Amino acid sequence: MRHKKRVLVLFGGKSAEHKVSIQSASSIISALNKKKYDIIPVAINQFGKWLNIEDSKKLLPALIRKEIITKELVRKNECIDVVFPVLHGHYGEDGAMQGMLEILNVPYVGAGVLPSAIGMDKGIQKIIFEKSGILIVPWLSFKKEKWEKEKKNLIEKIEKKLSYPIFVKPINLGSSIGISRARNHEELTKGISLAFYYSREVIIEQGIDAREIECSVLGNDNPKSSVPGEIIASREFYNYEAKYIDNKSELIIPAKLSKIKTKQIQHTAITAFKAIKASGMARVDFLLDKTTKKLYLNEINTIPGFTKISMYPKLWQASGVGYSELLDQLINLAFNKYYGEEGKSAQKPTLKLCDIGKR
């Protein structure tokens, strides 16, 4: 009788977060318990092509490649038990891949189609958070077509509603890619042009002098939250370089907060998680105003980074859940969600390894 579950770790992808995805997948594959799981790495390249297993393994560090044994599984043409998507950004975190996995009738880790799409769109999630009574900073958004026709009017509208500094972001990208902090009219215009390079819609947010606090959430119907952590960015703000390049940003875990503020953050994180109907996991990012002490929800991420320096697993480690145990729980949550849904309890996944190469 087979005891080990076959876990397909899906990584890479077409988005600008391709390299980050490879780092996350490498950490996950290294930490998965090899006595419990047979690991099948499958990568999607930056052009959207699905790579075979051997080519996928070449994208991973040499030490991790040695830990993966898949030839026997391929020879027997085994079925996949669960997919662990580690695709950040477009076509992986936005509901597109989740929809495909639903059609293929296979359990997968993380949020479903709708919450994934909401979590990827910074504007839609803000509307939902506002309706849920969660405090957010003033903001507005617009598409590229409108910007090209009404630049002057839009700039006037922004400067009337918000005061400098102002943050400009692609509306549907993570890892702080394409984000800029504008201190004047000229920087605002340049920041909008940069954001439009990555997305056809941008979101403009009021900048505040704030502490950056993050909280991890884990669960399905009854989620739990980790201890909060604080980021001390090495740069003007926590951009891509500060996250992944210079290694100088400081993570303070747990964050130095009062018990009341800690509970407020944990409660709000779970409220946000439930508001978008998320499942499995999410990292919820906050801004804590240094002057007023008001807590603003910045955004929610349904596939947070899983690199060795990422906050999501570090926050759970500080909360008493180690990396390998965290992965176990996420996989169990995926099975619980799949087999708990009406009509699926009697079904078994039928996605085979030979099918992957045909996608």
Last residue of a domain, one of 148, 172, 206: 206
CA–CA–CA angle 250, 61, 242 (5° rounding): 20
Are residues 159 and 269 part of one domain?
A: no
- Which residue stretches of the chain are H helix? 18-31, 53-57, 62-65, 71-76, 96-104, 113-120, 122-131, 144-149, 151-161, 185-198, 240, 259-275, 311-318, 323-340, 353-356
* pLDDT tens across the length of the chain (359 residues): 457 899 999 999 887 788 889 999 999 999 999 999 999 999 999 998 999 888 999 999 887 877 776 656 655 567 889 999 999 877 888 999 999 999 989 999 999 999 999 999 999 999 999 999 999 999 999 999 999 999 999 999 999 999 999 999 998 865 567 889 999 999 999 999 999 988 899 999 999 999 999 999 999 999 999 999 999 875 554 444 444 444 667 899 999 999 999 999 999 999 999 999 999 999 999 999 999 999 999 999 999 989 877 899 999 999 999 999 999 999 999 999 998 864 455 566 666 665 665 54
Are residues 131 and 94 part of one domain?
A: no
Task: Of 115, 114, 169, 111, give the one whose Cα is nearest residue 137.
Answer: 169
Q: Is residue 39 part of a domain?
A: yes
How far apart (Å, rounded) are the C-alpha atoms in residues 7 and 333? 14
Write out the residue range of the structural domain in which residue 174 sits: 139-206
Are residues 278 and 180 part of one domain?
A: no
Q: Is residue 312 part of a domain?
A: no
Are residues 232 and 127 part of one domain?
A: yes
Cβ neighbours for 187, distance < 8 A, ≥ 6 positions apart: 180, 181
Are residues 219 and 127 part of one domain?
A: yes
Are residues 42 and 21 part of one domain?
A: yes
Are residues 183 and 78 part of one domain?
A: no
CB 11 within 8 A of CB 43: yes
How far apart (Å, rounded) are the C-alpha atoms in residues 262 and 240? 27
Are residues 17 and 97 part of one domain?
A: yes
How far apart (Å, rounded) are the C-alpha atoms in residues 55 and 76? 19
Are residues 295 and 168 part of one domain?
A: no
What is the four-CA torsion angle of 138, 276, 145, 147, rounded to 10 degrees?
Answer: 10
Are residues 297 and 190 part of one domain?
A: no
Give the helix/strand (H/E) hosting 11.
Answer: strand 5-12
Q: Is residue 309 part of a domain?
A: no
CA torsion sign for 227, 233, 237, 241 is negative
Q: Is residue 221 part of a domain?
A: yes
